[in-house]
Amino acid sequence: MCDAPPADIAALSVAAPESEVGVVFSSPLSALTQTLERRVPRTLAEGRNQAIGAAGRVTYKIERDALRLSVQPEEVSLFTTLTGTIHVCKPVGPFCVSYGSCRPTWRVQAGLPSDFDRDPRLRAYVDVKLDRGCVLSPVGYDATAELERITRSEARHVRRRIDTELANVQQQLDFAWQQLQEPQHLDADLCLRFVPSAVSYEGPQQSVGGEVTLHISARGKVVTDCASAEQLFTWQPRRQGVPEPQLLLRTSVHWPLADFEAQLAAALGQDIALRVVGPAADAASPAASGTLGPASNRLYVGLPHNAGCRRWLQVKPIVQSSQVRLEALDGEPQERARLDTAGVDIPPQVALLLQHLARMPTLWDSSREQAQQRGVLVQGATQARVDVVVDAAGLQFWPTLHGSVKVSPEWTRIDNVDLPR
């Protein structure tokens, strides 16, 4: 008697896989504060015997108190208090006779909003308020109005400096985002291009232990396409819980079932048949089974049997080294052994992708070393593999690079950036 053929259940078409580039930026709040304390001088301004018109000459010094950082999902804020020491004198011959002094104070708040749903650009503000004015003692002359005018002028100057710095950072981010969407040439006829579909983030968070984190994730598809994108995906992050800090890059190469069947028959030296059927009604979901794609289609191979019959075995295609083999999920030992001897070379495009993937862990380690030399600690590891998915029209190869990325600046080594004063 012949085996009954596999159940005639319509096979599912498998969509191209999605990729994700998720990064978590992490730093202790104390390290951020200490870095700012080192970088922002205690004395912000000072001058000696500067002419101020009819009022004479002024000697002044403005110093800041300790800096305080506040981290909220919508904004990162910096607070401090400034104290000025001002002495005014009137030139008399070779001398300058002091006739008044004051000690004004200012409250300063600088903020970097991080509600990118509302505004995806980097923008900051500086708020400087005169807390205690300047009444020259002992003469009693009130110079507060003039001091407020100077304060507003200096605050505008600081804002312009900060806007310039942020514009430079924004330009670098825009360029990196654009480059991510450009084709990356692996070979003369093979490129990989990232096509984003969504960008998500979680605003800055501060843990109980004082760790500050920021999660950013981009989802999309990696296509084997050397043509430039007709239209770049706009950088428009959306707030979404806590994105997964993972690197999952995978693309898809299709192999028609008829081509695989012909090569497998040649490898076995037998007239075999392949059939793809849809998943069983009780098939586990991908989340439960840990497989990729939708609930898996099933692949059967029909081996020649007595009197023109076929023995149908359910098989699972796997990649071993540079070949595709069929792992029998049922059948007799001799039938399993027969399939174990047959391997079919993977398609050339898949082989080329695997060669590049095999080098990725080494390149990753090298990149981490280079980043650390620049004062950025990149943690995480990468693993390269290839998954085989059974599609209604054949096999799909999903070359995959999987890992995690955590970026932590080593603030004590970042000394080459000028902060605006």
Residue 303 CB burial class (10 angstroms; 0-12, 13-18, ≥19): buried
In the block, tokens 């020259």 appear at: 136
Confirm if 360 and 401 have CB atoms less than 8 A apart.
yes
- DSSP annotation of 34 reads H
Exposure string of 167-179, with b = 16+ CB inside 10 Å and e = fewer, is eeeeeeeeeebee
User: Measuring CA to CA, which residue among 374, 362, 349, 346 is closest to residue 401?
Assistant: 362
How much is the pLDDT for 152? 83
Q: State the DSSP string of 239-291.
A: E-S----EEEEE--EEEEHHHHHHHHHHHHTS--EEEEEPPPTTPPPHHHH--
Confirm if 235 and 199 have CB atoms less than 8 A apart.
yes
Phi-psi region of 210 (alpha: psi -120 to 50; beta: other; left: phi over 0): left
For the record, the structure tokens of 143 come out as 């110079």
The residue type at 408 = S
Residue 121: strand, helix, or coil: coil
How much is the pLDDT for 69? 92
Residue 303: strand, helix, or coil: strand
How much is the pLDDT for 107? 94
Confirm if 380 and 409 have CB atoms less than 8 A apart.
no
d(CA 16, CA 246): 19
CA diameter of the chain: 127
How much is the pLDDT for 24? 85
For the record, the structure tokens of 62 come out as 């403005």
d(CA 87, CA 98): 7
Task: State how beta strands 19-28 and 406-409 pair.
Answer: parallel
List 345's β-bridge partners, or say none: 323
Cα dist. 67→26, 52, 105, 124 in Å? 20, 31, 15, 17
Please give the chain's pLDDT, 421 residues, in tens. 677 778 888 888 888 889 988 888 888 898 889 888 888 889 888 888 888 888 888 898 999 999 999 999 899 999 999 999 999 999 998 899 999 999 999 999 999 999 988 888 889 999 999 999 999 998 888 888 888 888 888 888 888 888 888 888 888 888 888 888 888 887 777 888 889 999 999 889 888 888 898 888 899 999 888 888 888 888 888 888 766 767 888 888 899 999 999 999 999 888 889 999 998 765 544 433 334 444 689 999 988 887 778 888 899 999 888 889 989 888 888 888 888 888 899 888 888 888 877 776 676 667 667 666 665 666 666 777 888 999 998 999 998 888 777 777 766 555 444 444 3
- DSSP annotation of 242 reads -
- Distant-in-sequence, close-in-space partners of 242: CB < 8 Å, separation ≥ 6: 202, 215
How much is the pLDDT for 63? 92
The residue type at 373 = Q
How much is the pLDDT for 243? 65
For the record, the structure tokens of 379 come out as 């943690």
Which helix (DSSP H) or strand (DSSP E) does residue 59 occupy? strand 57-64
d(CA 118, CA 86): 43
d(CA 377, CA 407): 6
Other C-beta atoms lying within 10 Å of the C-beta of residue 163 = 16
- DSSP annotation of 224 reads -
User: Measuring CA to CA, which residue among 340, 282, 281 is closest to residue 316?
Assistant: 340
How much is the pLDDT for 380? 64
In the chain, where are the structural domains located? 29-177, 251-411
| 49, 51, 54, 56: CA torsion to nearest 10 | 0
In the block, tokens 């983030």 appear at: 201
Write out the E strands in 310-393: 310-320, 323-328, 344-345, 376-379, 382-391
Q: What is the pTM of this model?
A: 0.73
Which helix (DSSP H) or strand (DSSP E) does residue 356 occupy? helix 348-373
d(CA 153, CA 358): 58
Confirm if 68 and 78 have CB atoms less than 8 A apart.
yes
d(CA 13, CA 352): 25
